[in-house]
Amino acid sequence: SDMGLWHKKIPTEILQAGSELCAIDDRVAPMADELVIEKKRASGFHGTYLAGFLRAHGVDTVIITGVTMAGCVRHTTEDAIAEGFRPIVVREAVGDRVPGVTEWNLFDIDAKFGDVEPLDTVLKYLEGCAAA
């Protein structure tokens, strides 16, 4: 597997492309012309062409949502800042299976790696981008 130790630590064999467990929620499904990048590590950046794609399109900020907070969300956030982007994590749009993990990681990310913002603030930011 090209998933390294991650594959040995968690049951990644159940995470098959096209399966219900990997399906994108219809409420946030991409439009036909939107890019979907399949990742094989916790970060959306590591081992993908995401950073290059974003740079080529003049993007300087990434908005991060998802699960798991201590895994995919955190690693994507840390890699985003390492790649030179401004990461914004949406407080109400992240979660984890372990109580307390989400709040601790949000605190730590906001202190060191990015901005943690409430959904209303992020929506206003996006409205401003659309109007520009």
Over residues 70-103, the pLDDT tens digits come to 999 999 999 999 999 999 999 999 999 888 999 9
Catalytically annotated residues? 72
Q: Is residue 22 part of a domain?
A: no
- Phi/psi of residue 87, nearest 5 degrees: -85, 135
pLDDT-based confidence at 44, cuts 50/70/90? very high
Query: What is the torsional sign of CA 106, 108, 98, 22?
Result: positive
Q: Is residue 4 part of a domain?
A: no
The enclosing domain of 100 has a CATH number of 3.40.50.850
Q: Is residue 20 part of a domain?
A: no
Domain that holds residue 66: 41-131
Percent of the chain past pLDDT 90, that is, above it, reads: 69
Q: Is residue 54 part of a domain?
A: yes
Report the number of distinct structural domains present in the chain.
Answer: 1
69 with 99: CB under 8 angstroms?
A: no
| Distance between CA atoms of residues 19 and 36, nearest Å | 15
Q: Is residue 71 part of a domain?
A: yes
